[in-house]
Structure 1
Amino acid sequence: MSRAEVAESVRPVSPLWTFGLLRNELVTTFRRWRTLALLAVLAGVPVLVGIAVKMETGDGSSPGGGGGAGPAFISQITNNGLFLVFTALAATLPFFLPMAVGVVAGDAIAGEANSGTLRYLLVAPAGRSRLLLTKYATVVIFCLAATLVVAVSALTVGALLFPLGDLTTISGTQISLAEGLGRALLIALAVAASLIGVAALGLFVSTLTGSGIAAMATTVGLLITVQILDQIPQLHALQPYFFSHYWLSFADLMREPVYWDELARNLGLQALYAAVFGSAAWARFTAKDITA
């Protein structure tokens, strides 16, 4: 730690200054062309799914050629456009959403080091711990924003292309459109919470290198590797500990009554990953020699 960092670290930090740091991080993150491009791709997925289903069912056939193939809930989209929200989230969660989060998280620290701005950030009265926490909070907010972009895009396309109304749950019971919208919001929040483990992992990787591209590539590579391992039957004893194992448990929110067991396991597992890799990121970042 440099003399300037030591001198600044003993000064009291105003909560307003901390809020200003978070606000600055959010503005910087969401104004990057890369971030906007990622959000645009995420918003485009429900559009493509909705148009594909509309074209395929134009002759009265069911999606997937009548076999119910495709992401969860896709066979119900023609009956109720709200199911496009659930289908889009199920389609983007395995890769698109975590990839976007991995890119933002991987670039959080390494990108600053690569551009030469990390040292100047640490001269400000924030301290390494506060800066790291702010970076992680920014990535978590991006998780929520990215998920809501998918959900809102899907709801808009679903309302334009298909009818809306009361919907049938997985359990076969009927719920009102208002309750369905509430369930859709809960599902979006559950999906966003499913990404906090990836966010912590990406942040940790970001503290290990000074190259933003290397950090992003490593995070996305780890994401793909874990999901491949999660599909190998011989690893069934380890799979419940992979961060992606319970991602699709959000479908249980469409049951009546709601099944909470796997949802709780998912949230607990994400909290564990956030604690472990968040602590590892803190330990690495606070001891790291910042030269750029």
Structure 2
Amino acid sequence: MSQAEVVRAEEAPAGKARADAAATSVLPQARRAPSAAGFLALFRSELTLTFRRMRTISLLGILAALPVLIGVVVKVNTGGAGEGPAFIAQVSQNGLFLVFTALAVSLPVFLPMTVGVVAGDSIAGEAATGTLRYLLVAPAGRTRLLAAKFTAALAFCLAATLTVALAALLTGAALFPLGHVTLLSGDTIGLGSALLRALLVAGVVAASLAGLVAIGLFISTLTGSGIAAMASTVGLVLLVQILDTFPQLHAIQPYLFTHQWLSFSDLLRQPMHWDNELRNLGLQALYVAVFGSAAWSRFTSRDITA
């Protein structure tokens, strides 16, 4: 028996159980509310499946280790704290800035790679292992299944971002002093207000990955290979970020979904500057609408379980 067949044999009972759970949760409901019941059942199932996978746990572990590594490097080499990624010069003076530094370091590569893996594998991975056909025979329907997978991937974005932020906060508190924070505008705010602002920044960073989730979900509907979908999604992120560095492409760069990812630094001013953030969130919403619609069209019209 090949490795693919072994995986299919192991995953099929789990897929059937998830389909049965979705069906059971829908059938007792009144006719006017089957959609909500089916979606919640599928969302819980997808959320459990996503965060129980060893791959997901490993990805979150890598993200948690990144702020620790940055903090240790800054602590050991304080003489070079004035060089490097954004905010790193302030880390040795206030450990809270390790949160912003870790997010600035992880956002261009590490966070998109982990999100690309989860989103790219969402449909194609289950098609490859054979569990998708069990889900599609449940009365929940393809549209609700796609919506549940998209929402679960967004939940992973938030969990991944909060993992980086929390690990950075704990590391910063252990290695450096905490106290009043001097913002980029020169104003000083208290530690409590700074923590709330760090939480806001983490939420904005997570929302900035929504467009990537929609793109990964669309790519995942184009192939029955989870590895191909994951590689294509991650490769696309790297390609777009390379294109964003060429001055000759300045006319199209504002429309690239990665262009405003690091604009969260505008939230570290007093008052906060929301112009770039609103452009970023609007652009992510546009990508979600376009690629979400494309994913829905592909997923509902093609036999991807064959």
Q: TM-score range by the shorter chain?
A: over 0.9
Note the residue ranges of structure 2 that are not aligned, 5 or more in a row: 1-22
1:21 matched to 2:21? The reply is no
| CA distance in structure 1 between the partners assigned to 2:304 and 2:210 by the alignment | 26
Q: Work out which of the residue numbers 44, 47, 51 in structure 2 matches 1:30.
A: 51
The CA deviation string for residues 197-226 of structure 1, in whole angstroms up to 9 with x for no partner, is: 000000000000000000000000100000
Partner of 1:285: 299
Contact 1:119 1:290 in 2 (8 A): no
| CA distance in structure 1 between the partners assigned to 2:206 and 2:97 by the alignment | 18
Q: Work out which of the residue numbers 208, 213, 234 in structure 1 matches 2:248.
A: 234
Amino acid at match of 1:142: F
Amino acid at match of 2:45: N
Amino acid at match of 2:302: K
Q: Work out which of the residue numbers 187, 204, 207 in structure 2 matches 1:193.
A: 207
Amino acid at match of 1:26: L
Which of structure 1's runs of 4+ aligned residues deviate more than 6 A?
none
Partner of 1:133: 147
| CA distance in structure 1 between the partners assigned to 2:244 and 2:35 by the alignment | 45
| CA distance in structure 2 between the partners assigned to 1:52 and 1:290 by the alignment | 47
TM superposition shift of 1:16: 3.3
1:155-234 alignment to 2 at 5 Å?
155-234=169-248
Amino acid at match of 1:167: V
Amino acid at match of 1:41: I
| CA distance in structure 2 between the partners assigned to 1:211 and 1:103 by the alignment | 12
Partner of 1:81: 95
TM superposition shift of 1:15: 3.0
Q: Work out which of the residue numbers 96, 113, 117 in structure 1 matches 2:127.
A: 113
Moved more, 18-27 or 274-283: 18-27
TM superposition shift of 1:287: 0.5
Provide TM-score, normalisation by structure 2. 0.88
1:274 matched to 2:295? The reply is no
Partner of 1:102: 116
Note the residue ranges of structure 1 that are not aligned, 5 or more in a row: 1-7
Partner of 2:7: none
The CA deviation string for residues 80-136 of structure 1, in whole angstroms up to 9 with x for no partner, is: 000000000000000000110000000000001000011110001111100000000
| CA distance in structure 2 between the partners assigned to 1:17 and 1:289 by the alignment | 22
1:52 matched to 2:73? The reply is yes
1:243 matched to 2:264? The reply is no
1:93 matched to 2:114? The reply is no
Contact 2:94 2:181 in 1 (8 A): yes
Amino acid at match of 1:74: I
Contact 2:38 2:144 in 1 (8 A): no
Contact 2:35 2:144 in 1 (8 A): no
| CA distance in structure 2 between the partners assigned to 1:120 and 1:31 by the alignment | 19
Secondary structure at 1:149 match in 2: helix
Q: How many positions carry a matched residue from both structures?
A: 277
Amino acid at match of 1:181: L
The CA deviation string for residues 177-196 of structure 1, in whole angstroms up to 9 with x for no partner, is: 00000110000001000000
Quote the RMSD (CA, aligned, Å).
1.4
| CA distance in structure 1 between the partners assigned to 2:187 and 2:39 by the alignment | 48
Provide TM-score, normalisation by structure 1. 0.93
TM superposition shift of 1:62: 4.6
TM superposition shift of 1:70: 1.2
